[in-house]
Structures are given as C-alpha cells and as structure tokens.
Amino acid sequence: MDWEKITARLNEFLAKGKHNELRGALMMLNPVDIAEYMKSLKGEQLVMVFRILPKDISADVFAYMDDGARKALIESIGDGEIRALISDMFLDDAVDFLEEMPANVVKRILQNADPHTREALNQLLKYPENSAGSIMTIEYCEFHAGTTARQALDEVKRTGIDKETIYTLYVIDRGRHLLGTVALRKLILAADGAPVETLMDASACVSVKTLDDQETVADTVRKYDLLSIPVVDNENRLVGIITADDIMDVIEEENTEDFEKMAALLPSDGEYLKTSAVQMAIKRMPWLIVLMFSAILTGSIILHFETLLAGAVGLTAFIPMLMDTGGNCGAQASTLVIRGLALNQVQFRDFFKVLWKEFRVSLMVGFVLAGLTFLRLLFFSEWDAGVAAVVATSLYCTVILSKAIGCSLPLLAKKVHLDPALMASPLITTIVDMCSLMIFFSIASHYLL
Amino acid sequence: MDWEKITARLNEFLAKGKHNELRGALMMLNPVDIAEYMKSLKGEQLVMVFRILPKDISADVFAYMDDGARKALIESIGDGEIRALISDMFLDDAVDFLEEMPANVVKRILQNADPHTREALNQLLKYPENSAGSIMTIEYCEFHAGTTARQALDEVKRTGIDKETIYTLYVIDRGRHLLGTVALRKLILAADGAPVETLMDASACVSVKTLDDQETVADTVRKYDLLSIPVVDNENRLVGIITADDIMDVIEEENTEDFEKMAALLPSDGEYLKTSAVQMAIKRMPWLIVLMFSAILTGSIILHFETLLAGAVGLTAFIPMLMDTGGNCGAQASTLVIRGLALNQVQFRDFFKVLWKEFRVSLMVGFVLAGLTFLRLLFFSEWDAGVAAVVATSLYCTVILSKAIGCSLPLLAKKVHLDPALMASPLITTIVDMCSLMIFFSIASHYLL
C-alpha cells in the first residue's frame, strides 16, 4: 500500500471518529511514519491522535515529530501527560527536543519531570551545542570490574528495556574510570562465573571526551566502525554513550554545514521549507556583500587597462570565458582538497604533494583547454593568430594559477584552524578572477599594443 | 601515548627483530590502527608483521588495509594462508576487497576459497556496483516461524560468533519470505517456549531490495534509525542484511559524489592522494570544456553591445561584479535546494513554494546589495547618478533572476530524473552570467545612449 492510500485511510477513520480503527491502523506503521502522518494534523486533531496512541509508542512517535507540532502538543496536554511522556522518552531524544523549545516550555517540562529525570536532563542541557556531551545518552549498561558474566546478564535482563543499547556493555573501576567494553555476544557465550573484565575486547577501548565536537565523534565512530562509543570526562570517568543511529544524523548535519559554507552561506539549523525568508536573507547577505565588494577590485583591474580596451573593445568578450574557466578550475581543486581534509584523507603535511599533483593536472587540463581555444579562434573567428595566441596563453596560465590557489587555500586554512570549507568556489572565484584578468591584460598589452 | 611514539616503538621492535614484543604491542591496538601502521611498511616487512598477528585479528586488520598493500600481501603469501584469511573475513568485507583487485588476483583467491565461501562470493560479486546486493552480507541469524525463543537463543550462542550482527534476528516462513525482525533484547527477555514470530516488532518491518541503489538504503536506514536492514529479492525472500557501520561509509561516499558533481567534476572512487594526475585530469576536463564553450555565448553578448562599450569602456569594469554576484546568489539557492532534495526535505511538488520563498529572499537581498552599490557609486566614484541607477537596477534584476534560476533547475532536474547535484554553481554561474550581462547592457544602452 503506498503512502497516499495509507494517509487517505487514516484520514477517513479520523473524520468518522472511528478511534479504535484508527489506533489499529496506526499500530501497523513504524513510529517514524506515524510522526510523518501527524505532520498533516493540526490543533485538536493532533492532540486527539496522539492520545489514541498506546503509551509504549507515543514517546517514540513524539521523538520523530517536528518542533512546531511538539510545541503545540505540549501546550495542549496536561502536566501528568507531560511527566509520562518525558519519562518514556530516551534521555538524548528529550534533550534534543528541549534544546529546540522556548524557555517557558522547557521550564514547564522540567517542573513536571520526576526528580531523577530532571537532574539528568539539567546535566545534559549544560553541555555546549554540538559537543559530544550534548548528544550522548546516560542510559547504558555499566558494570564494575569483578561482576560475573551471570550477574551482568541478569542485570541486563532486568534493566535492559530502558537502555538505549544493551549490545555493548561498559566496565568501570571503583572510581568510575572506563576500563573497556564487553560485547553482549561475548557475555552470552561466556562461562557464568567469568568476571566481566576478562571478556573485554583486547584492543584498546576507543572513547571521546564530553567537550569533543560532534564532528570528531562522527569521524572516530566511522573510522573504527563502531555501533556505539563511550563518552568520558577529563578524568576518563564514564559519563555517557553515543549510538550509531545518532551518528548518522551528525554526519549529514556536518555535510550540510560544509555544503552551505562552500556556497557562501552562513550555516543554518533548520530545514529549507521551514526557514523564513527573512532568516534566509540574513544567512545569505554577509558573504554576498563581502564578495561583491571584492569584485570591485577585479573591476578596477579592467579600468587600469582602459587604454588597451578602448583600442580593442572586442577583447572584453574574452573576460567571461577566462573568469569562468579559472573559477571552475579553482573550484574543482578546492572541492577535492576540502573533501579530502573532511574525510581525513589529506593532511596539511601533504601540502607539497598536493601542489605538485595539481600542477601536473593543470598542465594537462590547461593544454587541452588552451589548445581548443587557440584552434577555435584561429579557424572559427575573425581574430588573427596573435590574439589567438595571447588568449590561449592567458588561459593556460589562468588554469595553472587557479588550480594552485584552489588547492592551497583550504590547506592553509586548516593550518591556521579556519574551516577549509570557507575556501571554496565563491572565494576562490573572486581571487582567481583578479589573477586571470591581470594575466590576460598584461600579456595582451605587451604583445598587442 | 600519541601515534608517533606508538609507531616509533613498533618500528624499534621490528628493526631489532623482537617479534614477540612486536606481537604484544600490536595487540594493544585497535585493528584499524594496526592497518594504519602497516601502511608504512613495504615488501617483506609487511608480510612479516602480518604473519605475526594472531589469526583472529589478522582478517580484521586485512579488511582495513589499503588496496595496494593488500595486493602486495596476497601476492607474497601461500595458498593455504589465503584460504584461511578469506574464510576468517566477513563476506561483505571480502567482496569489497575483491571488487578492487585485478582479475588474476581475484581468480587466485576464489580458487583457494572453500567451496561454500566461493559460491557465496561469486553470488555477491554479481550484483551491480553500489546496489544493496553488492554491499550486503549473508552472515546473519535467521529463524523459521515456529522456532521457540530457547531454540533461537541456543542457535545464536552456537553460530553467533561468525555473524556480522546477532542483535537483530530475522524471521522467515517456509518459502524464505521475510516475516519480520526480532531484537536480541526481546529474545533474551522472552519465555523459553515463546515462538519467535510472537516476539517480532509490531510495526511493519522495513526492508530494501537487492537492486536498490545504496543511496536509497542509506536514506531508509537513516530515516528509521536502524542498526541493520534486511535485503530481500523481488519475491520478498530474505537474501542478506546491511549493517549501520557500512551505511556510514555509504553516506560519506554519496556526499562526496554530490560535492564532486557540484564542482563540475565527474565522480571518482579513489582518495585524492591515491588518484593519478592523468585520471584526475580526465575527470575534470569534460565539464570544463562544456562550460568554457558556453562562456563564449556570454562573450558574444558583450560583442553584441560593442558600440555601447566603445563609447563607455569604463562600463566593462562592472562586468565582474555583476557576474560574480549573480553566480553566488544562484549557487546559494541551488545548493540549498540540492541539499534539501538529497535529505528528502524538499520535493518537486514544492516547486512554487520554493520559487515564492526565493523570490521574497531575493527581494530583500537584492535591495541591500543594489542599495549599497548605488550609494557607493554615487558617493565614492566618479560615475554620475544615471550610471549608478543603471548598475544598481541591473544588479537587483540579476539577484532576483539568479535566485529563481538557481532554485528551479535542481527541482526540474529531479523531475526528469537527472541528478540535481549537476545543477550547481558551475552551470548556474554560466547561465546567470549571460542573463546578468544581457540585463545590464540592455538597461545601459536604453538609458545611457
């Protein structure tokens, strides 16, 4: 059954007030899809459908709803319902949700949470945005060294239902320092009396610190192919874990941020359709203004060669081709280097290796582009061989220079701890524009005047 | 201990021939880090260190080594060692590895694999690259409906050690059709005699088809926050699973492809430093040539207005500013829409919503940019108010038009099943260039001549 038929069926039950049928139909769906369906509802209907859901899945559905609907819902339900909802949610989902809510809503929710949950939430809300601490959960299974496999397994059976994952278990010493991890599979296969620390993975345990950036966390999880990673404080005491499903969202978030920076946009949190036009304009303006004023410099280069151009206005027709090709060449090089840096495949110490590679690439690419241009001008235009040679030479130099600039700037940015993604197409284009016109007019005024 | 000290210590053991110490030291490291260390070794040393590793981690280390080292290793070890290595590897890792090896190496490996493994490998190698089938593994736990929880758990204990994951179990009927999934946690908590199908997750089970693109797989896994996803054939028969750690790599791979397309590059598989200059030049040339020839059109617009320019060469100084600003505005809009499409936050049916939003954004952004330019020309240049007004008006029109083009093209591409990522900065810039100059010169010749 496709999605449109499903929603049509649900809407029919809803319109006719057939609440039991609606509940039955909803329970056939994944919580993610129920949340998707609830996006289309408003006001009383939204609250009604939410109340119809069985308690054990309503918290899950709530975690996947969008912020607007969650806010509306919280404002319409009673304090008791809020308490039940928050205590049924995984703590990391609850923190994500609270971080997006206005202060008065957060206050009401925290007031209604049970003391234990409130304390945990307050603790987690204190970590800076995008830090490991802010995305971790404290619902994991930990055991002190000395616990036997049997004791641990019994404990998992008793408390596992409330944990984010029971597939990796954490072993700590008396001071809560992280000693290592035990995979549930090992615990299941172990002899009853084996102490958990003897089941730990032999290789050193990988962990992150609470204040590490979520990008670092994602890189580490991806590098070591982990399903979850422990989070420790500065004294190596275990304070939480982060699971792979949350890491996938972090990876996409970090990529979106890079895409935005590379398109001269200030990074934003919201989805495209949910961001207001004013907010969007504000995110776009700063770089546009900076780059627009930089382009004045390029214009002044043209003015500088006014005498040359007055004698041969036709030369201006080559400006777009030189500027665009230079910009594109630079963007290609910078994109590959930025991406290489993001995936830890390229480091600053590779600077000369990268430069040398780009130089060889640009020799080949430039040769083909300049050659094609030379032949085109010679045979398919009214320009003479002198102009064709000047344009082709300028193009060749532009390609070489723009590749060199394009690959160097992201690496240099990395070195001085700027985000390499800022050194992308827009900025590179502006710089390369200036250089390409300077080259073109210099060569032209030397040989053609 | 930091990485440099670690490698220095290992190299010391290696140089002095202290093999037992070396083995001990290596076993303190994660297999990913051992593979990283082995990157620095060559020839006999590489083979020697590999042979030193305990059998149970050497297959894991091998899976993380780079292709060059793996090829060298395979060529230096005996047939018996190859057989042991391949049978110790997870099948999906073995397939990934074989896909990168030359035909003669693949042949030798398959000849040496045991018949069961060989058959499985051959089967998996047949799926098209980047399909769900090509990245899935067949090492999972499945149970026929009717199996009791106790029987299933015993089976997991007996065979689980060779499975990619035992945390999700798959229930099939007599015809191997997928009925649903059972989480290991539910199995552990269940009564001994409960049939596995009664433990299945209530909500409909999410699966993908063997020929689905890996991008679809990643989108689905991310949407439903799964740790693994079952892969079925066209008759809904279970044939394999894909785990979250492989999905993270797919997500990064797909993002890299988008980054490349958006920078006018043909997508490539290899890492930057490992791709030869010739291969790189080949990936970069096609779009550069297309875009270079498109820029000739922009040039011809300039030639068309030669008379205007001959009278006022200084006007050409505004070309870079108009072209760059238009290009940047278009790139901003197209990047946001491309990203929205990739994350399923924007659909083609939102076309007019997107266009209307971009129109409002461009009214605001254009007003600020054109206003600043007008004031600058009026007070800080020698141009008169007429020219300032013409330039500012052209800029305003350019901003509005480029945002409209930038947001429309990716959506239209999606509609006709082209990759929206192709409609990014380079192509948008070329189109916007033409439009902006056309607007500028038309307005200028109308009011200034």
| Residue A292 pLDDT exceeds 70 | yes
- Minimal CA–CA distance to A20: which of A56, A55, A52, A54? A52
Say what the pLDDT of residue A294 is. 87
Residue numbers in B near A244 (CB within 8 A):
227, 244-245, 248
Residue numbers in B near A214 (CB within 8 A):
none
Encoded tokens for A337: 């280097």
| Residue A155 pLDDT exceeds 90 | no
CA triple A318-A322-A325, angle to 5 deg: 140
- Say if the Cβ atoms of A251 and B247 lie within 8 Å: no
* A22 to chain B, closest Cα gap in Å: 14
d(C-alpha A314, C-alpha A388), whole Å? 13
- Say if the Cβ atoms of A259 and B369 lie within 8 Å: no
Encoded tokens for B209: 């088809």
* A174 to chain B, closest Cα gap in Å: 23
The confidence band for A135, taking pLDDT boundaries of 50, 70 and 90, is confident
H or E, element range at B112: helix B103-112
Percent of chain A predicted with pLDDT > 90: 26
When computed from its CA atoms, the radius of gyration of chain B, rounded to whole angstroms, is 30
Q: Which amino acid is at A334?
A: S
Q: Which residue has the higher pLDDT, A367 or A28?
A: A367
Say what the pLDDT of residue A437 is. 92
Residue numbers in B near A242 (CB within 8 A):
none
| Residue A125 pLDDT exceeds 90 | no
- Say if the Cβ atoms of A295 and B321 lie within 8 Å: yes
Query: Which one of B280, B343, B357 has the shortest CB-CB distance to A361?
Result: B280
| Residue B433 pLDDT exceeds 70 | yes
Cβ contacts of residue B136 below 8 Å, gap of 6+? B92, B124, B210, B231, B239, B240, B241, B242
Positive or negative, the CA dihedral B209, B214, B216, B220 is positive
The confidence band for B204, taking pLDDT boundaries of 50, 70 and 90, is low
Encoded tokens for B96: 């990934």
For residue B169, give the 3-state DSSP assignment. strand
Residue B177, phi then psi, degrees to nearest 5: -70, 140
| Residue B137 pLDDT exceeds 80 | yes
Say what the pLDDT of residue B230 is. 93
Residue numbers in A near B300 (CB within 8 A):
317
Cβ contacts of residue B271 below 8 Å, gap of 6+? A340, A343, A345
Taking the mean position of all CA atoms in its chain, how far away is CA B423? 18
Encoded tokens for A333: 């090089």
- Say if the Cβ atoms of B259 and A259 lie within 8 Å: yes
- Say if the Cβ atoms of A264 and B327 lie within 8 Å: no
Query: Which one of A258, A324, A361 has the shortest CB-CB distance to B429?
Result: A324
Encoded tokens for A19: 């609440």
For residue A39, give the 3-state DSSP assignment. coil
Tell me which chain A residue has its CA closest to the CA of residue B333. Answer: A263
Residue numbers in B near A425 (CB within 8 A):
263, 331, 425
- Say if the Cβ atoms of A245 and B264 lie within 8 Å: no
Instruction: State the DSSP code for B148.
Output: B
3-state helix vs strand vs coil in chain A, percent to 5 = 70, 10, 20
Q: To the nearest whole number, what is the mean pLDDT of chain B?
A: 87
Encoded tokens for A146: 């000395």
Mean pLDDT of B212-219: 91
- Minimal CA–CA distance to A403: which of A347, A335, A339? A335
| Residue B203 pLDDT exceeds 80 | no
What confidence tens digit (pLDDT) does each residue in A190-245 have?
Answer: 888 889 888 887 566 889 999 999 989 998 998 888 888 999 988 888 988 998 88
Residue numbers in A near B270 (CB within 8 A):
none
H or E, element range at A209: strand A208-209
For residue B232, give the 3-state DSSP assignment. strand
Helix axes B3-15, B31-38, angle to 10 degrees: 60
- Say if the Cβ atoms of B227 and A204 lie within 8 Å: no
Cβ contacts of residue A189 below 8 Å, gap of 6+? B157, B160, B161
Percent of chain B predicted with pLDDT > 90: 26
Mean pLDDT of A278-301: 88
Query: Which one of B264, B334, B346 has the shortest CB-CB distance to A332?
Result: B264
Tell me which chain A residue has its CA closest to the CA of residue B337. Answer: A272
- List the single range of A118-122, A149-153, A351-355 with lowest mean pLDDT: A118-122
How many CB pairs below 8 A link A and B? 333
Cβ(A392)–Cβ(A374) under 8 Å? yes
Say what the pLDDT of residue A323 is. 92
Encoded tokens for B212: 């689905």
Mean pLDDT of A114-142: 85
Residue numbers in B near A191 (CB within 8 A):
none
- Say if the Cβ atoms of A28 and B203 lie within 8 Å: yes
- Say if the Cβ atoms of B184 and A202 lie within 8 Å: no
Mean pLDDT of B146-174: 84
Say what the pLDDT of residue B128 is. 87
- Minimal CA–CA distance to A217: which of A267, A268, A251? A251
Cβ(A394)–Cβ(A321) under 8 Å? no
Tell me which chain B residue has its CA closest to the CA of residue A313. Answer: B310
- Say if the Cβ atoms of B345 and A280 lie within 8 Å: no
* Interior/surface letters B311-339, b for 16+ CB within 10 angstroms, e for the rest: eebbbbbbbbbbbbbbbbbbbbbbbbbbb
* B132 to chain A, closest Cα gap in Å: 18
β-strand partners of A237: A177
Cβ contacts of residue A121 below 8 Å, gap of 6+? A86, A91, A94, A95, A98, A110, A113
Angstrom distances, CA of residue B40 to CA of A230, B24, B25, B276: 30, 19, 16, 20
What confidence tens digit (pLDDT) does each residue in B286-324 have?
Answer: 888 888 888 888 888 888 888 888 888 888 889 999 999
In a mutagenesis test of the B interface, which of A141, A315, A336, A383 is the best target, namely the one with the most B β-carbons within 10 Å?
Answer: A336
Residue B242, phi then psi, degrees to nearest 5: -125, 135
Say what the pLDDT of residue A203 is. 63
d(C-alpha B237, C-alpha B176), whole Å? 5
- Say if the Cβ atoms of A226 and B206 lie within 8 Å: no
For residue A213, give the 3-state DSSP assignment. strand
- Say if the Cβ atoms of B251 and A252 lie within 8 Å: yes
What confidence tens digit (pLDDT) does each residue in A64-108 have?
Answer: 888 888 888 888 888 888 888 888 888 888 888 888 888 788 888
For residues B122, B134, A224, B339, the Cα torsion angle rounded to the nearest 10 degrees is 170
- Minimal CA–CA distance to A391: which of A449, A309, A317, A327? A317
Give the total residue count for chain B.
449
Phi-psi region of B413 (alpha: psi -120 to 50; beta: other; left: phi over 0): alpha
- Minimal CA–CA distance to A180: which of B21, B63, B28? B28
- Say if the Cβ atoms of B245 and A249 lie within 8 Å: no
Q: How many CB atoms lie within 10 A of CB A43?
A: 9
Strands (E), A94-155: 142-144
Query: Which one of A153, A227, A426 has the shortest CB-CB distance to B227?
Result: A227
Residue numbers in A near B167 (CB within 8 A):
167, 184
For residue A200, give the 3-state DSSP assignment. coil
Instruction: State the DSSP code for B128.
Output: P
Angstrom distances, CA of residue A75 to CA of A64, A97, A122, B339: 18, 14, 21, 33
Residue A171, phi then psi, degrees to nearest 5: -105, 130
Encoded tokens for A174: 């008396």
- Say if the Cβ atoms of A298 and B437 lie within 8 Å: no
What confidence tens digit (pLDDT) does each residue in A176-190 have?
Answer: 889 888 888 888 888
The confidence band for A439, taking pLDDT boundaries of 50, 70 and 90, is very high
| Residue B388 pLDDT exceeds 90 | yes
Mean pLDDT of A11-39: 85
- Say if the Cβ atoms of A313 and B318 lie within 8 Å: no
Residue numbers in B near A337 (CB within 8 A):
272
Q: To the nearest whole number, what is the mean pLDDT of chain A?
A: 87
Encoded tokens for B283: 């990936």
H or E, element range at A241: strand A238-243
d(C-alpha B237, C-alpha A204), whole Å? 40
The confidence band for B446, taking pLDDT boundaries of 50, 70 and 90, is confident
* B6 to chain A, closest Cα gap in Å: 13
Residue numbers in A near B259 (CB within 8 A):
258-259, 262, 335, 338-339
List strands edge to edge, sheet with B142-144: B142-144, B168-172, B178-183
* A369 to chain B, closest Cα gap in Å: 7
| Residue A123 pLDDT exceeds 70 | yes
* A127 to chain B, closest Cα gap in Å: 24
- Say if the Cβ atoms of B320 and A302 lie within 8 Å: yes
| Residue B368 pLDDT exceeds 90 | yes
Q: How many CB atoms lie within 10 A of CB B95?
A: 22
Residue numbers in B near A259 (CB within 8 A):
258-259, 262, 335, 338-339
Give the total residue count for chain A.
449
Positive or negative, the CA dihedral B26, B27, B31, B33 is negative
d(C-alpha B97, C-alpha B92), whole Å? 9
Mean pLDDT of B18-37: 85
* A100 to chain B, closest Cα gap in Å: 18
Euclidean distance between the first and the last CA atom of chain B, given in angstroms as a whole number: 74
Tell me which chain A residue has its CA closest to the CA of residue B153. Answer: A188
